[in-house]
Amino acid sequence: MSSTIGMLALRCLLPGFVGTSAPDWVRRRAAEGLGGVVLFSRNVDDRNKLRALTDALHHERPGLLIAIDEEGGDVTRLEAKAGSSYPGNLALGAAGDTALTEKVAAAMGARLAEAGIDLNLAPVADVNTNPLNPIIGVRSFGSDAPAVAGQVEAWVTGMQGAGVAACAKHFPGHGDVAVDSHLALPVATEDPRERALEPFKAAIAAGVRAIMSAHIVATALDDLPATISSPVMSGLLRDELGFQGLAVTDGLEMRGLSDGRGVAEAAVLALAAGCDALCVGGGLAGQDVVDSILEAIVGAVHDGRLPEARLREAASRVDALAGWRSRQGAPKMMSDDIGLEAARRAVTADGAVDCRRQNPMGRGSRARRARRAPRRSGWERRDRRA
């Protein structure tokens, strides 16, 4: 890609792809200046193959951002075959110990750093105030804004202390809706300033490197989805809250954003509104979608719909995050036992609990089986249902 505008546009893209090795088009785009990629469970087989993949991508361009969704609990890419070694946010919120949450995030971050990951698209900072919410639910730390804020701050501190950038999501708050933004456009009627913003303020105070937008309408702020709303992504996030890090979109192909406007146009509108990095590839993971987005961005700059200065600013924020990552030291590995400890701390019981074994084969048989099959790490376990 030769044009300056095209190079800037390429820097703002974080596409996905299929396979446990990078396709030729991804490697070529990386060498040309692609901003980053997003990995999904389809890209992860085992520890060694994942590290080979990230090494190959970084070989094409050391400043390439490799991102992943690793929330713990229900949302894991590293351990999708067996289940996460770490409890999710609701369990950590139930344990109610921010020091414990920081340790869990630090252990997870060390594992990500070891795998060659630069940006973790977590934590979920949404206050789950609507019990009918179909997409946030247990991914949230809870329904009390101050408590969620404390958990988010601890999680960001632990993750970034391990050298991996955190990304608080979904701004300005996806908790007070009853619609899945993957399928349709949710509408939140409560002003985010009342509750939803508190965890994002805590994340910013903790130095979070990135914040992800939500494909929701916050009617108190604008009639457009937040991702393409200048009052939300520029006025609220930048001017009011003072965030100067990387603003990342949720997946552009999600129907809450793309319905009625298409993925390429959504990308242009998101950049114009104040987003910097454009995620796509959860569903549309081919070279064609990247080419169409690049063409649309270049055309919008030439037509005057997207100021070149805005595009330059967005690309510079991608580079700034890559620069931060390059300055982080080697990860300090931690035991996965912190995940088990956190899960146990999250359990509460109402009434008497009988923990005696009811195994008809007897304890001796179980002990013998345990000796024959020592516990394996989460990286090595496999889902028996597969």
Q: Which residues are catalytic?
A: 182, 250
- SS3 of residue 185 by DSSP: coil
Contact criterion met (CB below 8 Å) for 125 and 168 = yes
Q: What share of the chain is helix, strand, coil (3-state, %, to 5)?
A: 45, 10, 45
Tokens representing residue 250 in the block: 């949720």
φ/ψ region of 87 (left if φ > 0, alpha if ψ in -120 to 50, else beta) reads beta
In this structure, the chain runs to a length of 386
User: What are residue 279's phi and psi, to 5 degrees?
Assistant: -90, 135
Strand partners, 65: 36
In whole angstroms, give the CA distance from residue 105 to residue 157.
Answer: 8
Q: Which is nearest to 97 in space by CA: 351, 379, 368, 344?
A: 344
Q: Which is nearest to 70 in space by CA: 79, 62, 59, 61?
A: 79
Q: Which is nearest to 230 in space by CA: 276, 273, 265?
A: 273
Tokens representing residue 174 in the block: 């996806």
User: What are residue 357's phi and psi, to 5 degrees?
Assistant: -70, 140
Question: What b-and-e string marks burial along 278-293, b requiring 16 or more CB atoms within 10 Å of the CB?
Answer: bbbbbebbeeebbebb
Contact criterion met (CB below 8 Å) for 226 and 232 = yes
In whole angstroms, give the CA distance from residue 328 to residue 335.
Answer: 20
In whole angstroms, give the CA distance from residue 154 to residue 172.
Answer: 19
DSSP 138: G
Residue with tokens 């987005």: 293
Residue with tokens 């908790």: 175
DSSP 12: T
